[in-house]
Chains A and B, each alone.
Chain A
Amino acid sequence: MKYLSILLLAWLPFARAGQDIYICKNAKINIYSSAPVEDIEANSTNVVSVYNATTGEIEFSVLIRTLHFEKALMEEHFNEDYMESDKYPKATFKGVMEQKPDLTKDGEYPVKVTGDFEVHGVKQTRTINGTVKVSGNTVTMTSEFMVKCADHHIVIPQVVFHNIAESIRIRVSATYAPYKAN
């Protein structure tokens, strides 16, 4: 009898009350492309991201309209002609971190995330390298990668070819806080 109760009690420490979720509501993204006539650069500070430290799932989402350019006309053309942001308002990434870093230990960990990157309505499966930095209770993730316009059916007409490069450099930086479910 005693042994039975001890055995049954032994289950309890393995109880998982919930998942370890981190969120960031104002991650930063910078897009940059260098071309002979004009450099194209935009920033958004409204990227939303959720990271599940237990399963390694990570998601990013940004409204294309929150990407702001120095030149108002460039922003208008970007949304109207190239990204067609009225049809495809968001760019998203949904993936899984292959080797989850230990978030209880301070330090910088290089990570690989594999998942679907959707821009302009076209999904591409990508493996993206990034860095996770743990410092006390805050988790910061940064990454830099290239995106080819053609991969996402973003058409650059010949007339403006010299202005816009075919590959865009993306930089993402997100500082997470643990999420407490209500």
Chain B
Amino acid sequence: MKKLITLFVLLALCICVRAQKKDTVKTVSSADSLMNSLSADDDKHQKTLATFSATRLIFSPTTETVKKNNLNFLVIHRFGDVGTPTGGPRTFFGLDAVNDVYIGFEYGITDNLQVMVGRSTIGQIGETQLKYAILHQTSDNSSPLGITLLGGEGIRPYGSFGSFSDRLSYIGEAIFSRKFSSALSLEVLPIFVQNNQQIPDLPGNEQGFFSLAAAGRLKVTKHMSLLVDYEHPFSNYSTKANGFEDPLGFGAEFETGGHVFTLNITNARAVSQINTLSASQASYGNGQFRFGFTISRMFDFNHKKDTEKKW
């Protein structure tokens, strides 16, 4: 009897051992599943990249900021009217005339904080701005929006003003953006402008007023996008009766390496938001629209790190 039991136990053991051998088939997928478990939390809170390709669209800034130690050089043009008597083929559809030229620099203090210095022809307004990205959209939607705050100041050093402080204007805005897909990104901007002296300086005009802007970009090819930009100032003075029309622009953006080029058509003559929101008296209906372009070039001032690690 004992012998039988011992034999039986041994047999059982051997069967168990043989069964384990069959596990070789399972380990094909166990290596796979091991890989999967090792890389399980890879994608958590991945920041969405490049909601927009540039730091501004047509009128509106975007939630993008210049990266640390990078300098963005901007030249923005708005030409003359296309459809008014000063326009037409003779002046090459307004290209002969210059309505506004903006030259500015944006510098990345950190990856999320940039400072801007720029100057426009209209009003000879010199501006400085700080732009801070407080929230980034993430790919797992734990953060569905990107939010950037912008605060700026403009000064008009020329012309006669009552006092020095009358030369100053202020702008503050919050930019909310969302990258819906690799092709479509939209943003909404509540803006507050304060002009110590109204722009234009006419009785009844408001010094401080809110505005709302909305803009979007649709990627058509890897390097080309279509843009729309619209601003609506909530000012009792900026009415159609007074000759104002909400700035509305359409554009195409081309991205190549370190340059971003934008070609656009706008009614508003100005580049700076302080000007476009305060004093846009140009109407598509009257032929008062124009071509414009933006050239931006990114310079990287980071020192070459020793990336050739020991291999």
Contacts and interface: CB of A to CB of B under 8 A. Distances in A.
B46 A65 contact: yes
A11 B300 CA distance: 68
A76 B54 CA distance: 12
A118 to B, nearest CB: 13
B7 A70 contact: no
Given A50-B38, A73-B70, A163 B257 contact: yes
Contact of A86 (B13, B14, B38, B49): B49
Interface residues of B, number: 47
A15 B14 CA distance: 9
A50 B35 CA distance: 7
Nearest to A15: B17
A86 B182 contact: yes
Contact of B309 (A9, A28, A57, A160): A28
A25 B311 contact: no
B31 A21 contact: yes
A70 B305 contact: yes
B23 to A, nearest CB: 7
A79 B258 contact: no
Most buried by A among B18, B49, B182, B223: B49
27 contacts: A1-B3, A8-B10, A12-B14, A16-B23, A19-B27, A19-B30, A21-B27, A23-B34, A30-B309, A43-B307, A48-B39, A54-B24, A57-B28, A61-B39, A65-B46, A65-B49, A70-B302, A70-B305, A80-B50, A86-B48, A86-B49, A86-B139, A86-B182, A89-B43, A94-B32, A173-B311, A179-B34
Interface of A: 1, 4-5, 8-9, 11-12, 14-19, 21, 23, 25, 28, 30, 41, 43, 46, 48, 50, 52, 54-55, 57, 59, 61, 63, 65, 70-73, 76-77, 79-81, 84-87, 89-90, 94, 142, 155, 157, 159-160, 163, 171, 173, 179
Contact of A8 (B7, B50, B139, B307): B7
Interface in B266-298: 298
B134 interface: no
A18 B31 CA distance: 13
B3 A50 contact: no
A159 B311 CA distance: 33
B111 interface: yes
B13 A12 contact: yes
Contacts of B70: 72-73
B300 A87 contact: no
A76 B27 contact: no
A70 B307 contact: yes
